[in-house]
């Protein structure tokens, strides 16, 4: 696959400690800040809500 193919938002299934890419892309969107998160930088998400967070602060804010 060309590095520049599938430049766009990925669709992801968030799992406990891992995630599965359902539709290829280069980023997902933070549910709180609406900022893009590069797939390689994705570290915070909610399995129950199936949403990603850009950082720990956004994760905490989403849980309040």
Pairing of strands 11-15, 18-23: antiparallel
Question: Among residues 62, 59, 49, which one has the least CA distance to residue 14?
Answer: 49
pLDDT exceeding 90 applies to what percent of the chain?
Answer: 88
Task: Tell me whether strands 27-29 and 18-23 are parallel, antiparallel or unpaired.
Answer: unpaired
Percent of the chain predicted with pLDDT > 70? 91
What is the average pLDDT value for the chain, to the nearest integer? 93
pTM of the model: 0.86
Please indicate, yes or no, if residue 61 is contained in any of the structural domains.
no
Phi, psi values for residue 43, rounded to 5°: -130, -20
| Whether residue 2 has pLDDT greater than 60 | no
Average the pLDDT over 25-52 and give the result: 97
Does residue 62 lie in a domain region? no
Looking at the predicted structure, is the pLDDT value of residue 4 above 60?
A: no
**Whole domain around residue 19: which residue ranges?**
11-56
Domain assignment of residue 22, yes or no:
yes
Position 5 in a domain = no
Q: Could you tell me the two tokens for 55?
A: 């950082």
């Amino acid at each position: 696959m060309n590095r520049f193919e599938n430049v766009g938002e990925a669709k992801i299934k968030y799992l406990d400690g891992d995630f599965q890419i359902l539709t290829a892309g280069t980023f997902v969107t933070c549910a709180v800040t609406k900022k893009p998160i590069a797939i390689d930088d994705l570290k915070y998400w909610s399995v129950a809500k199936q949403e990603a967070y850009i950082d720990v602060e956004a994760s905490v804010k989403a849980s309040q």
